[in-house]
Amino acid sequence: MTVLSCGGRPLDLSRPRVMGVLNVTPDSFSDGGAYLAAEQALKQARRMAGEGAAVIDVGGESTRPGAADVPIEEELRRVVPVIEAVAAELDVVVSVDTSKPEVMRAAVAAGAGLVNDVRALRAPGALEAAAELGVPVCLMHMQGEPRTMQRTPRYDDVVGEVVAFLSDRIAACEAAGITRERLLVDPGIGFGKTVEHNLGLLKHLDALSELELPVLLGVSRKSFIGAVLDRAVEERLYGSLALAALGAWQGAALVRAHDVAATADVLAMCQAVRDAT
């Protein structure tokens, strides 16, 4: 599968593409508070689209460690106007980063063509909503919940357990009527995982190829990069780009990034080498 149908917009994954991060939250770990106003968010979306983002991922609830829950009404207030504006103006796929079925429905009605769910449709009603909506869904692995996921993450075999979890969620989706042609998977780097767990998953990212679905990789500016390099969040570009290259080389189809232009260049060079004779 190289082209996903995202609410009427095609997403060509025959080469690795960039998913630009657009957090309309006050408390996201990297860009919280930067794009709260719809016009600010639209301006950032324009910039990312111009820099090569194929997808703009709009999120209204932070999933950083320790993040507080956001009421449905507040999440809707944050994301719906931004999704409407971006979908109306830009020729990109708009993704909604949410776990709530009510937000999924409103976002797709506003123009979102992809659901990006850190809970892999495990919230009550989410599986049914996704089946009804008919747009592609990204299923992410997370051990625990955002508030507590980094306290004591434990695995006997992190790669095997992540693959098994995603395989189970794929089966649940198929049983609910969501075909494989509508699915992507994400190993959930940084979600309920230690530095060592994250590095192990990245070393063996190609193990996800057995699922035979496009892989989304989110590593941009994450805390384990800071732990390895001793860098503050605003100093993690080079670490993020190194991991984007490693991910693309192992088959990642989408790389979720704050720094779109630099990431797009990295992915293009990886693809050029792969295509060389």
Structure-block tokens of residue 136: 């592609």
Contact residues for 260 (Cβ-Cβ < 8 A; gap 6+): 18, 20, 47, 48, 51, 52, 53
Q: How far, in whole angstroms, is CA 161 from its chain's centroid?
A: 20
Between 42 and 66, residue with greater pLDDT: 42
Looking at the chain, the whole-number percentage of residues with pLDDT higher than 70 is 95
Q: Is residue 277 part of a domain?
A: no
* Strand stretches in the chain, DSSP E: 3-6, 9-12, 17-23, 53-59, 93-97, 114-117, 137-140, 183-186, 216-218, 254-257
> Is 26 a residue whose pLDDT tops 60?
yes
Q: Does residue 247 lie in a domain region?
A: yes
What pLDDT digit, counting tens, does each position of 212-247 carry?
A: 999 999 999 999 999 999 999 999 999 999 999 999
Task: Check whether 1 has a pLDDT greater than 70.
Answer: no
Give the closest residue to 198 by CA, choosing from 159, 241, 165: 159
pLDDT tens for each residue of 202-221: 999 999 999 999 999 999 99
User: Residue-wise over 108-123: b if at least 16 C-beta within 10 A, else e?
Assistant: bebbbbbbbbbbbbee
**pLDDT higher than 70, residue 174:** yes
For residue 236, what are its two tokens?
């993690």
**Can you give the CATH number for the domain in which 27 is found?**
3.20.20.20
> Is residue 47 a part of any domain in this protein?
yes
Chain Cα centroid distance, residue 63: 11
Report if residue 7 sits inside a domain.
yes
Residue 19 inside a domain? The answer is yes
Structural domain tally of the chain?
1
How many CA atoms, within 13 angstroms, populate the side-chain half-sphere of residue 200?
A: 14
Secondary structure (3-state) at 66: coil
Please give the pLDDT value at position 35. Answer: 54
Grade residue 29 by pLDDT with cuts at 50, 70 and 90. very low
Provide the pLDDT confidence category of residue 32 given band limits of 50, 70 and 90.
very low
In sequence order, the β-bridge partners of residue 6 are 9
151 a catalytic residue: no
With CA atoms as reference, report the closest residue to 257 among 201, 209, 216: 216
Residue 229 phi/psi, 5-degree rounding, is -100, -10
State the residue range of the domain holding 10. Answer: 3-272
Element (H, E) at 167: helix 158-175
For residue 61, tell me if it sits in a domain: yes
Angle, nearest 10°, between helix axes 158-175 and 126-133? 60
- pLDDT tens per residue, range 137-153: 999 999 977 767 677 88
222, 231, 236, 274: which one is catalytic? 222
pLDDT in tens, 46-95: 999 999 999 999 999 987 777 778 899 999 999 999 999 999 999 999 99
- pLDDT value of residue 149: 66
pLDDT at residue 270, rounded to an integer: 97
Tell me the average pLDDT across 27-39.
57
Neighbours of 88 (CB within 10 A): 11
Q: What is the average pLDDT value for the chain, to the nearest integer? A: 93
How does pLDDT run across 181-195, given as a tens digit for each residue? 999 999 999 999 999
pTM of the model: 0.93
Give the pair of three-digit tokens for residue 92.
């990109």
* 169 is an active site residue: no
pLDDT given for residue 34 in this prediction? 54
